[in-house]
Chain A
Amino acid sequence: MSHHDNGVTVGLGIQMCERWRVEAALSFLPHQRKWGETAGAVMAGGVMDKEYVGFAALPNQLHRKSVKKGFDFTLMVAGESGLGKSTLINSLFLTNLYEDRQVPEASARLTQTLAIERRGVEIEEGGVKVKLTLVDTPGFGDSVDCSDCWLPVVKFIEEQFEQYLRDESGLNRKNIQDSRVHCCLYFISPFGRGLRPLDVAFLRAVHEKVNIIPVIGKADALMPQETQALKQKIRDQLKEEEIHIYQFPECDSDEDEDFKRQDAEMKESIPFAVVGSCEVVRDGGKRPVRGRRYSWGTVEVENPHHCDFLNLRRMLVQTHLQDLKEVTHDLLYEGYRARCLQSLARPGARDRASRSKLSRQSATEIPLPMLPLADTEKLIREKDEELRRMQEMLEKMQAQMQQSQAQGEQSDTL
């Protein structure tokens, strides 16, 4: 080949390489890659496989695994009755979970105590199965005297943590059922002037134990300026009372401006002012929408100018489901676990905990809060003895090995 040709060839070759590299990178997108294809292995004689190892395919594998395993999520809804909680849940998940519900009359509710109800439903979409558990708190805020009516809720949340702690410390950890509450949607009345004393009391009791997303129910009671004023008032009150609600994480810095702006807008609209409806309104010429029909107009549930339903659905279901689970596990559950184990701390236990290598093991042996203290102590002492014996044995064996080595050397040198 002439020099020119070489140059051209090389130039072309390099350009080809570039193009193939880009194409190979693009072909890493999950839906395009077929099993068995490794990036650029065939092309340009080996330039490609030096660049790509292939672990960028890990998210793919996780995705496939989690699709197979399925996904479970526990959502709690709390708030006074009559704020549209059930309708909103039905609208969010497009199910009819509350079909057979009977709301008791006022005279029956005079002496009702707070009950905790659980409903489970399996929803499948796009091949992904979600096992959704809804925790309801009927009767909250209804009675004439609502003192301490939030205690059953707190107890319920802590019971789930306790169950998980026990399962985690147990022997069979393969099939742990996660029944911890991952998120609590708290409904605030649009008729009040912000948070009521009962709202504040409830939120303070649960904010360190569960992710709270505050929501204004039946927001079609409010004109736009009233909605803004109410949201601001609630935000101010939350700050004043030092109530920690769920913080939606910052979006990645490499997202484009548009996305960042949208994300900021969504965060600004917390608490979400929502309207729920499972009825489809067919107005003459316009296309059918889910909404509520009044004599003066129709509220469209999925219209961002009418209410924040879309925002809530996007942030809760479409983007942050996993994050809510992670925060529950990494932050709230760990906090509970630390508090729990610390309260069990005895002088002996503290020593054991300081042995970092064995602390995990001893954690499995520490009996959980439910056992009576006398048994706990006995078990701890027994395990202590065992550990010491094992350590002694190890030391002896090490000493023996050293001796035999030394002897071996001696015999070698001899």
Chain B
Amino acid sequence: MSELVPEPRPKPAVPMKPVSINSNLLGYIGIDTIIEQMRKKTMKTGFDFNIMVVGQSGLGKSTLVNTLFKSQVSRKASSWNREEKIPKTVEIKAIGHVIEEGGVKMKLTVIDTPGFGDQINNENCWEPIEKYINEQYEKFLKEEVNIARKKRIPDTRVHCCLYFISPTGHSLRPLDLEFMKHLSKVVNIIPVIAKADTMTLEEKSEFKQRVRKELEVNGIEFYPQKEFDEDLEDKTENDKIRQESMPFAVVGSDKEYQVNGKRVLGRKTPWGIIEVENLNHCEFALLRDFVIRTHLQDLKEVTHNIHYETYRAKRLNDNGGLPPVSVDTEESHDSNP
């Protein structure tokens, strides 16, 4: 008898590893156009970005935000005759604008906190701010938990909080430490040294070193947080920013002056013109690139995936499971740190 052809071995139950095919061999498929498709979608829908500014009055918060987004997005007195007095308690004022650039629409909301750190007794003046941030998480949670969910849940959560440090040249103030300790676990904090044109280069670098050390000693994680670096590439890039550039020493301005034939944003003094976008003068350009050009999406993602999830988990634990429709209306914030 002839030999039986051996039966073909049965195929294993485990799915095979996808074989990566070099598409060049077979012709162009066009998968990489997904990037373009996403881009078109984003352009049509636009996106939300919410930025909060915190710091004592007079540190140039509103001017800086206006400079960042190159428009009058933050309400500020154009002259010194600000009629409003310093509020007795911290107020939260959110103003929204739609800015468009290159076909992309951004709904920008600037959240101002007048009255922070201005009183004689500033105990617990960060509480209204913490409350506001948690309220936005709560709003989002409610929407998420609905049966009939909206297609796009409006996102009012604070994606980024710029904390303005006064350029004393010595070190952080006790209030700065207290604020950042309480809020770095709840929102992305980016510390910024305000009105940095009062410090010489040596003073600046010494001050930054001291601030970084103090933040480290007190266990304050500012954005970009070390624990959320996704891969090695991120880590090296962020490490460099964390250890050398931050906190950014900035100068803001909404006035233009003529320098070397160009019109630049700056401040004109009898001893020279400080150019806001000149890296030899201040680090505004670094801050702008960081917040807007490179890490904008990451700020939103960390807010959504980490801070919001932390809040949500706490809420779930409190209520022992999320009810399907009627979310508890009594906003209990006792679980907050």
Q: Is A302 an interface residue (CB 8 A)?
A: no
Are B194 and A297 in contact, with the CB atoms below 8 A?
Answer: no
Q: Is B267 an interface residue (CB 8 A)?
A: yes
Q: Are A144 and B120 also in contact (CB < 8 A) when A81-B170, A191-B166 are?
A: no
Interface centre among B169, B195, B271 (most CB of A within 10 A): B271
Count of chain A residues near B, Cβ 8 A: 47
User: In the complex, what distance in Å separates the CA atom of A229 from the CA atom of B123?
Assistant: 31
Are A193 and B80 in contact, with the CB atoms below 8 A?
Answer: yes
Q: Which residues of A sit under 8 angstroms from B59, Cβ to Cβ?
A: 191
Are B174 and A144 in contact, with the CB atoms below 8 A?
Answer: yes
Q: Is B141 an interface residue (CB 8 A)?
A: no
B-contacting 9-mer, from A170-178, A287-295, A342-350: A287-295
Q: Are A106 and B118 also in contact (CB < 8 A) when A191-B166, A221-B195 are?
A: no
Interface positions of B from 99 to 118, Cβ below 8 Å from A? 118
Are A82 and B269 in contact, with the CB atoms below 8 A?
Answer: no
Q: Which residues of B sit under 8 angstroms from A81, Cβ to Cβ?
A: 168, 170
Q: Is B86 an interface residue (CB 8 A)?
A: yes
- Chain A, Cβ-Cβ closest to B210: A105
Q: Is B48 an interface residue (CB 8 A)?
A: no
Are A196 and B118 in contact, with the CB atoms below 8 A?
Answer: yes
User: In the complex, what distance in Å separates the CA atom of A106 from the CA atom of B175?
Assistant: 9
Q: Is A363 an interface residue (CB 8 A)?
A: no
Q: Which residues of A sit under 8 angstroms from B280, Cβ to Cβ?
A: 295
Q: Mark A135-156, 1 if CB is under 8 A from B, else 0.
A: 0000000111111000000000
Q: List 24 A-B contacts (CB under 8 A).
A: A81-B170, A82-B166, A82-B170, A83-B168, A105-B214, A106-B177, A107-B214, A107-B217, A109-B174, A142-B174, A144-B175, A191-B59, A191-B60, A191-B194, A193-B58, A193-B80, A201-B120, A221-B198, A229-B79, A229-B81, A294-B201, A296-B274, A296-B275, A297-B272
Q: Which residues of B sit under 8 angstroms from A107, Cβ to Cβ?
A: 174, 177, 214, 217-218
Q: Is B176 an interface residue (CB 8 A)?
A: yes
Q: Which residues of B sit under 8 angstroms from A197, Cβ to Cβ?
A: 86, 118-120
Are A221 and B120 in contact, with the CB atoms below 8 A?
Answer: no
User: In the complex, what distance in Å separates the CA atom of A196 from the CA atom of B119?
Assistant: 8
Q: Which residues of A sit under 8 angstroms from B86, Cβ to Cβ?
A: 196-197
Are B170 and A192 in contact, with the CB atoms below 8 A?
Answer: no
Q: Is A103 an interface residue (CB 8 A)?
A: yes
Q: Is A308 an interface residue (CB 8 A)?
A: no
Are A220 and B195 in contact, with the CB atoms below 8 A?
Answer: no
User: In the complex, what distance in Å separates the CA atom of A215 from the CA atom of B201?
Assistant: 25
Q: Which residues of A sit under 8 angstroms from B270, Cβ to Cβ?
A: 224, 303, 305-306
Min CB gap B165→A, angstroms: 11
User: In the complex, what distance in Å separates the CA atom of A109 from the CA atom of B57?
Assistant: 22
**Chain A contacts to B: CB under 8 angstroms:** 80-83, 103, 105-107, 109-110, 142-147, 189-193, 196-198, 201, 218, 220-221, 223-224, 226, 229-230, 232-233, 292-300, 303, 305-306
Q: Which residues of B sit under 8 angstroms from A83, Cβ to Cβ?
A: 168
Interface centre among B80, B118, B167, B274 (most CB of A within 10 A): B80
User: In the complex, what distance in Å separates the CA atom of A379 from the CA atom of B241?
Assistant: 76
Are A191 and B56 in contact, with the CB atoms below 8 A?
Answer: yes
- Chain A, Cβ-Cβ closest to B170: A103
Residue from B119, B171, B178 in contact with A103 in the complex, judged by beta carbons closer than 8 Å: B171
Min CB gap B306→A, angstroms: 27
User: In the complex, what distance in Å separates the CA atom of A198 from the CA atom of B122?
Assistant: 11
Q: Which residues of B sit under 8 angstroms from A230, Cβ to Cβ?
A: 80
Q: A294-B271, A295-B201 are in contact. List 7 more A-B contacts (CB 8 A).
A: A103-B170, A106-B171, A107-B177, A110-B177, A189-B58, A191-B166, A300-B271
User: In the complex, what distance in Å separates the CA atom of A83 from the CA atom of B280?
Assistant: 24
Are A142 and B173 in contact, with the CB atoms below 8 A?
Answer: yes
Q: Mark B269-299, 1 if CB is under 8 A from A, else 0.
A: 1111111000011000000000000000000
Are A193 and B57 in contact, with the CB atoms below 8 A?
Answer: yes
Min CB gap A44→B, angstroms: 59
Are A294 and B121 in contact, with the CB atoms below 8 A?
Answer: no
Q: Which residues of A sit under 8 angstroms from B119, Cβ to Cβ?
A: 197
Min CB gap A126→B, angstroms: 32
User: In the complex, what distance in Å separates the CA atom of A170 from the CA atom of B81?
Assistant: 54
Are B200 and A292 in contact, with the CB atoms below 8 A?
Answer: yes
Q: Which residues of A sit under 8 angstroms from B122, Cβ to Cβ?
A: 144-146
Q: Is B221 an interface residue (CB 8 A)?
A: no
User: In the complex, what distance in Å separates the CA atom of A190 from the CA atom of B172?
Assistant: 18
User: In the complex, what distance in Å separates the CA atom of A85 from the CA atom of B178?
Assistant: 26
Q: Is B197 an interface residue (CB 8 A)?
A: yes
Are A223 and B269 in contact, with the CB atoms below 8 A?
Answer: yes
Are B272 and A294 in contact, with the CB atoms below 8 A?
Answer: yes
Q: Which residues of A sit under 8 angstroms from B118, Cβ to Cβ?
A: 196-197
User: In the complex, what distance in Å separates the CA atom of A223 from the CA atom of B174?
Assistant: 29
- Chain A, Cβ-Cβ closest to B77: A193
User: In the complex, what distance in Å separates the CA atom of A262 from the CA atom of B210?
Assistant: 44
Min CB gap A16→B, angstroms: 57
Q: Is B70 an interface residue (CB 8 A)?
A: no
User: In the complex, what distance in Å separates the CA atom of A368 from the CA atom of B82?
Assistant: 50
Min CB gap A240→B, angstroms: 11
Q: Which residues of B sit under 8 angstroms from A146, Cβ to Cβ?
A: 120-122
User: In the complex, what distance in Å separates the CA atom of A82 from the CA atom of B170?
Assistant: 6
Are A293 and B200 in contact, with the CB atoms below 8 A?
Answer: yes
Are A145 and B198 in contact, with the CB atoms below 8 A?
Answer: no
Are A223 and B120 in contact, with the CB atoms below 8 A?
Answer: no
Residue from A80, A143, A233, A293 in contact with B80 in the complex, judged by beta carbons closer than 8 Å: A233
Q: Are A299 and B80 also in contact (CB < 8 A) when A82-B169, A144-B174, A191-B166 are?
A: no
Are A192 and B57 in contact, with the CB atoms below 8 A?
Answer: yes
Interface positions of B from 28 to 72, Cβ below 8 Å from A? 56-60
> Which 7 A-B residue pairs are closest in the complex by CB-CB distance?
A82-B168, A297-B272, A296-B272, A229-B80, A297-B271, A192-B58, A106-B172
Q: Are A296 and B273 also in contact (CB < 8 A) when A107-B218, A197-B118, A233-B80 are?
A: yes
Q: Is B268 an interface residue (CB 8 A)?
A: yes
- Chain B, Cβ-Cβ closest to A236: B81
Are A147 and B217 in contact, with the CB atoms below 8 A?
Answer: no
Are A145 and B269 in contact, with the CB atoms below 8 A?
Answer: no
Q: Which residues of A sit under 8 angstroms from B167, Cβ to Cβ?
A: 82, 191, 221
Min CB gap A407→B, angstroms: 80
Min CB gap B290→A, angstroms: 21
Q: Which residues of B sit under 8 angstroms from A233, Cβ to Cβ?
A: 80
Interface centre among B170, B172, B174, B201 (most CB of A within 10 A): B174
Min CB gap B215→A, angstroms: 10
Are B268 and A223 in contact, with the CB atoms below 8 A?
Answer: yes
User: In the complex, what distance in Å separates the CA atom of A230 from the CA atom of B274?
Assistant: 20
